[in-house]
Amino acid sequence: MPAKPVEIGSLSFARKGDANDFFRDMLYKYELGDKVTNEDAEILTC
Q: Give residue-wise pLDDT tens across range 13-45.
A: 999 999 999 999 999 999 999 999 999 999 999
* pLDDT greater at residue 3 or residue 28: 28
pLDDT of res. 1: 74
Contact 11, 20 (CB under 8 A): no
pLDDT of residue 38: 96
Q: What residue ranges do the domains of the chain occupy?
A: 6-44
pLDDT of 10 strictly over 80? yes
Q: What is the rounded CA–CA span in Å between residue 43 and residue 31?
A: 19
Q: What is the DSSP string of the chain?
A: -PPPPEEETTEEESSHHHHHHHHHHHHHTS-TTPPPPHHHHHHHT-
Neighbours of 13 (CB within 10 A): 18
